[in-house]
Amino acid sequence: MAMLRKDTHFEIHHLNEPKLLKVITLDEFIEQGLAVCAGSAEFGDLLLWLPNEERLRSPHLLSLPVGGFLIPEPLIGDFDSMRPHLHSPKDADVVQPGDVIAITPGNAMVRVLYRRGSDSNLLFMTDRCNSLCLMCSQPPKDIDDRWHIEENLRLIDLMDSDEENLGISGGEPTLYRDGLLEILAKCKAVLPQKSIHVLSNGRLFQDPSWIAALSAISHPQLSWGIPLYADNAEDHDHVVQAPGAFSETLQGLYNLARANQIIEIRVVLNRLTTPRLPELAHYVFRNLPFVRHVALMGIESTGLARKNYEELWIDPLDYQESLSQAVYFLFNRGVPVSIYNLPLCLIPAHLSRFARQSISDWKNLFIDTCQQCAAVKHCSGFFKSHTDRWQSRGVQLLSTEAFSAYARSAQ
């Protein structure tokens, strides 16, 4: 698994306005036409994937009424059209047929908003947030960025209809309540095969009017990832830097349960959250028995986390026991539990069955040590933001023998 960026540069011509375009091959265009998009689309929304060879062989293709053309290589010969066209990608792997891209005039940057077949696609809702978590990987911005709602509604139309996981995230997506509800309803109508996972701090759900709103949508494959950082208000509120947040999130969780929503609890592992991790597992099981999954997640060393290094950093080797106590407490009581973002070399073999390859493909990194490691194909690896300062003293390559102990332990 190699990290695949979500943007690259092209040479872009004849683009007069910002566009969201669905990349489509000629074969797909002939066989499926607009049906390649899950929702409503026009020919002008399509960007025809047109290698030089095809264009030179059949120049009349340029008269197709599509929104533009993408030459996935350096341009050969003249391009005889006034319609938008892109060529000479800096990284030819980034944009592929089926993807949906965003381009703006005067900017060579091409952003991939939807990648065909990936389970890491995301509807990004906003940079705003009502919390200010000490380890936030994407520090919030106090701006009006409602335009994300329109872009996401458009993006949903242009996606493939296939079965994939789709995330919704921010910032705090519930801040744009009506926009979020509209997007969830549209996901249900246009992308019924995609399971939707929304990341939210859950605080605004303390308003019980969400219960009727979410029940009305009744999305069959919608789940919520809600963070809980402690079994008590003082510790949780400190981590999220918002007094009262613990009480609000708890009431929010009960309201989500009343709306029959599928709920996952997420805990970021750091110096503040690990000392009472077993007690937190106990608290979740006793008070939130409707929770379907608990994710215990290694920290992403970017954003505010870097600023708060002293307060947050703990070597994962130093919380192994706490992690193990929490994981087996939940597992033995039938609560599905996973460990995210921790490389296999940093967890004991007996916990490897709970470890997932959780890091999104576009920011997943394997460092030099990993290259000869027997476990590399099964390991979460690191975030692309990984630095030496955030590296455990336990990072090492596992020999084939060592890894087979992990594999045996996972059975």
Tell me which residues touch other proteins (CB under 8 A).
231-235, 237-238, 241-243, 246-247, 250-251, 254, 276, 278-279, 281-283, 285-289, 324-334, 350
Residue closer to other proteins by CB (options 241, 369) is 241
Closer to other proteins at the Cβ: 125 or 326? 326
Select 50 or 250, whichever has its Cβ closest to other proteins. Answer: 250
Which lies closer to other proteins via its Cβ, residue 348 or residue 394?
Answer: 348
Alpha-carbon distance of 346 to 352, in angstroms, equals: 10
Closest approach, Cβ 27 to other proteins, in A, equals 48
State the nearest-atom distance from the C-beta of 330 to other proteins, in Å. 8
CB 346, CB 314: distance < 8 Å: no
User: Cβ 204 to other proteins, closest distance in Å?
Assistant: 16
Q: How far is the CB of 377 from other proteins (least distance, A)?
A: 24
CB of 121 to other proteins, least distance (A): 34
The string of DSSP codes covering 14-46 is S--S-EEEEEEEHHHHHHHGGGGSSS---GGGE
> Closest approach of Cβ 216 to other proteins, in Å?
23
| Closer residue to other proteins, CB minimum distance, 225 or 278 | 278
Give the full edge-to-edge strand order of the sheet including 11-13.
7-9, 109-114, 100-103, 19-25, 46-49, 68-70, 85-87, 11-13
3-class DSSP state for residue 138? coil
Cα 391–chain centre separation: 23
My answer on whether omega of the bond before 171 falls inside 30° of 0, hence cis, is yes
Q: Do residues 140 and 185 touch, judged by C-beta distance below 8 A?
A: no
Residue 72 near residue 97, CB atoms below 8 Å: no
Q: Which is nearer to other proteins, 279 or 315 (CB)?
A: 279
Tokens 């036409």: give the residue.
33
Q: CB-wise, 203 or 363, nearer to other proteins? A: 203
Shortest Cβ 329–other proteins spacing (Å):
4
CA–CA dist 382, 342 (Å, integer): 8
